[in-house]
Amino acid sequence: MNNVQLWIVGSIGIDAIETPGEKRADLLGGSVTYACAAASFFTPVGAVGVVGSDFPAAFLERYRRFGIDLAGLQTRPGETFRWSGVYEADFINRRTLDTRLGVFGDFSPELPETFRDAPFVLLGNISPSLQLHVLDQARGQPFVVVDTMDLWIRIARPELVQVIRRANLLTLNDSEARLLTGHHNLLACARAVLEMGPQFVVIKKGEHGAMLCSKQGFALIPAFPVEQVVDPTGAGDCFAGAFMGYLAQTRVRRIDEPLLRRALLHGSVVASFGVEAFSTERLEKLERSEINSRVDALRSMSALE
Amino acid sequence: MNNVQLWIVGSIGIDAIETPGEKRADLLGGSVTYACAAASFFTPVGAVGVVGSDFPAAFLERYRRFGIDLAGLQTRPGETFRWSGVYEADFINRRTLDTRLGVFGDFSPELPETFRDAPFVLLGNISPSLQLHVLDQARGQPFVVVDTMDLWIRIARPELVQVIRRANLLTLNDSEARLLTGHHNLLACARAVLEMGPQFVVIKKGEHGAMLCSKQGFALIPAFPVEQVVDPTGAGDCFAGAFMGYLAQTRVRRIDEPLLRRALLHGSVVASFGVEAFSTERLEKLERSEINSRVDALRSMSALE
């Protein structure tokens, strides 16, 4: 059995989503799902998550077709986490209609032996105490990326601050950055995050791209302009999964800014494909050559001189 | 007397502005003011506008220090156009408190003889019928850029469509693009605008930069991340004025996409300085070398590979 280069912990869910264009139920979702699918284009990746006894075998088959290592997937008696939400006309703002935690409510992530030495770790959006619990099972000095959300900033700030202190890179969106730091200006937000410990922070701005900040400086990562957004769910997870997969693929242990820029560009591109269909449906048809073409296109769109 | 390379028509006003940080009255404002000041770093520029008899001589002196040609400036008995507004905490959304048209209500722009052969024309934000009226006085085949606002899209669409048909390039912000075309997706908006006549459209996204679109393709123009926004008023006018000034400076008559990208990058940078103070106060202290440094910095922040 091969050891994975990257493992990703987070939620696995069955989603019901309504967009201005369409209404779909029983969709494979969750941060682990999107992030692992996106990472799988670049590197062997392992999923750490929990599903209920109702989780369809067909969904497991979809993970396997991405080549995702499921050694860290627990199946527990009970219902899989379910989320339903509706997007406004802008395809950005969304309202949660219903959340049923199911087996996710008692999730205690366990890291398989074959994951423990992986050099790259993505702590996807779950409670900071679970992020800490699973990170404590890793060995060596992995490059740790932490994602989070407004809920944890509000209700679990002390634990979140502990996770952030152990992160090499924190990724969060603009409104979360403002909520976490109390600043409005994103440069001020970024500086405040760097003070908390990480070497790098990536502030995601959705269709406007992302900003990479370190003590050395700033980089602007464009988003690929998508013609037809079908479902934006999981875009941030695809972004993080793909850039981590790209980093892991390079096998470079010294992560610097130029390498991160390239990795984030690939994350941006994979996310742009992800939103072109519900769930991981677009990623299932995606070819590595399509990623490369869009990376080239985005580079040429953004070329200044 | 030298002929100008670029003339700009639009509003001249005296503003009272309240931001989350500060409250200021009796500020020199208006689209012509910002755009001409920004253009003046690159090329001889002429202003076409109207002021009332109350317009302070000190403001005229500020125009002259920018080297702005005032042959197209009318002084009429009555009050100068006045606008007052208040910005929300995000420094983006704003509410108009009061508008007093004054002499601007009867404005009928006249193009001085020395402006008529200028190869570059910026029709700043005034009513489309005035834009047409003044454009009809130009000779030759100038490169015409049209700016507009939501008001004209709502109340003067037929005239606006006529102006747009005669534009080489239309510039408008994202919400205006959506209002004008009825599309939400900005690529779809851009295509719809190109169908209306212009070769190019620039969709401005404020702090998120701008998108240049033509039938040949797309370019993403980043915004320089500003540490401390003091007053965003006039940012779009600075952007348009500076990129037109840059184009005029090159003396190239065949405007293509690579040249436009460079011009827009300079527009983006000058706008980033403009918002660092009220009115044109930052531009008054601005050196061309500071523009060049920030252009280099923005290029390196946006470099992909």
| pLDDT tens-digit readout, A179-233 | 999 999 999 999 999 999 999 999 999 999 999 999 888 999 999 999 889 999 9
> B161 near B129, Cβ under 8 Å?
no
Q: Does B182 touch chain A (CB under 8 A)?
A: no
Q: Does A211 touch chain B (CB under 8 A)?
A: yes
Q: Which residues on chain B are in Cβ contact (under 8 Å) with A179?
A: none
**Contact across the interface for B227 and A91, Cβ inside 8 Å:** no
Q: Which residues on chain B are in Cβ contact (under 8 Å) with A304?
A: 221-222, 261-262, 265, 298-299, 302-303
**Contact across the interface for A227 and B184, Cβ inside 8 Å:** no
Distinct helix (H) and strand (E) counts, chain A: 11, 13
Q: What percentage of chain A carries pLDDT values higher than 90?
A: 92
What tens digit of pLDDT does each residue of B71-96 get? 999 999 999 999 999 999 888 889 99
What tens digit of pLDDT does each residue of B111-165 get? 999 999 999 999 999 999 999 999 999 999 999 999 999 999 999 999 999 999 9
pLDDT of residue A89: 84
ipTM of this complex prediction, to 2 decimal places: 0.86
What tens digit of pLDDT does each residue of A234-256 get? 999 999 999 999 999 998 878 99
Q: What percentage of chain B carries pLDDT values higher than 70?
A: 99
**Contact across the interface for B185 and A228, Cβ inside 8 Å:** yes
Calculate the average pLDDT of chain B.
95
The rounded distance, in Å, linking the Cα atoms of A140 and B175 is: 50
**A120: which 2 tokens?**
């790259």
**Predicted confidence band at A288 (pLDDT cuts at 50, 70, 90)?**
very high
The rounded distance, in Å, linking the Cα atoms of A124 and A126 is: 6
Q: Which residues on chain A are in Cβ contact (under 8 Å) with B188?
A: 227
Residue pointed to by tokens 């918002």 = B275
pLDDT surpassing 80 at residue A269:
yes
Q: What is the mean pLDDT of residues A92-120?
A: 94
**Predicted confidence band at B216 (pLDDT cuts at 50, 70, 90)?**
confident
> A210 near A268, Cβ under 8 Å?
yes
pLDDT surpassing 70 at residue A1:
no
Q: Does B92 touch chain A (CB under 8 A)?
A: no
**Contact across the interface for B228 and A185, Cβ inside 8 Å:** yes
B91, B208, B262 member nearest A305 (Cβ):
B262
> A49 near A292, Cβ under 8 Å?
no
pLDDT of residue A90: 82
Q: Does A248 touch chain B (CB under 8 A)?
A: no
pLDDT surpassing 70 at residue B1:
no
**B285: which 2 tokens?**
């202290």
> What is the distance in angstroms between the Cα of A207 and the nearest Cα belonging to chain B?
9
DSSP chain B: -PPPSEEEE---EEEEEE-SS-EEEEEEESHHHHHHHHHTTTS-EEEEEEEETT--HHHHHHHHHTT-EEEEEEEESSPPEEEEEEE-TTSS-EEEEEEE-GGGGG------GGGTT-SEEEE-SS-HHHHHHHHTT--S--EEEEE--HHHHHH-HHHHHHHHHH-SEEEEEHHHHHHHHS-SSHHHHHHHHHHTS-SEEEEE-GGG-EEEEETTEEEEEPPP--S--S--TTHHHHHHHHHHHHHHHHT-SS--HHHHHHHHHHHHHHHHHHTTSSTTHHHHH--HHHHHHHHHHHHHHT---
**Predicted confidence band at B70 (pLDDT cuts at 50, 70, 90)?**
very high
Calculate the average pLDDT of chain A.
95
CA proximity to A257, closest of B293, B208, B303, B269:
B303
Amino acid at B63: Y
User: Percentage helix, strand, coil, to 5, in chain A?
Assistant: 40, 25, 35
The rounded distance, in Å, linking the Cα atoms of A288 and A265 is: 14
Q: How many CB atoms lie within 10 A of CB A105?
A: 11
The residue of chain A with its CA nearest to that of B301 is: A219
Q: What is the mean pLDDT of residues B17-22?
A: 94
pLDDT of residue A91: 84
Q: Is residue B277 exposed (0-12), middle (13-18) or buried (19+ Cβ within 10 Å)? A: middle
**Contact across the interface for A265 and B304, Cβ inside 8 Å:** yes
Provide φ and ψ at B49, rounded to 5°.
-170, -175
> What is the distance in angstroms between the Cα of B100 and the nearest Cα belonging to chain A?
33
**Contact across the interface for A227 and B185, Cβ inside 8 Å:** yes
Strand A23-29, strand A81-87: pairing: unpaired
**Contact across the interface for B219 and A299, Cβ inside 8 Å:** no
**Predicted confidence band at A118 (pLDDT cuts at 50, 70, 90)?**
very high
pLDDT of residue B10: 96
Residue pointed to by tokens 């693009």 = B177
**Contact across the interface for A219 and B261, Cβ inside 8 Å:** no
Q: Does B90 touch chain A (CB under 8 A)?
A: yes
> What is the distance in angstroms between the Cα of A297 and the nearest Cα belonging to chain B?
9
A218, A226, A227 member nearest B225 (Cβ):
A218
Classified as helix, coil or strand, A18 is strand
A184, A208, A226 member nearest B90 (Cβ):
A184
Count of A-B CB contacts under 8 Å: 80
Query: What's the start-to-end Cα distance of chain A, in Å?
Result: 48
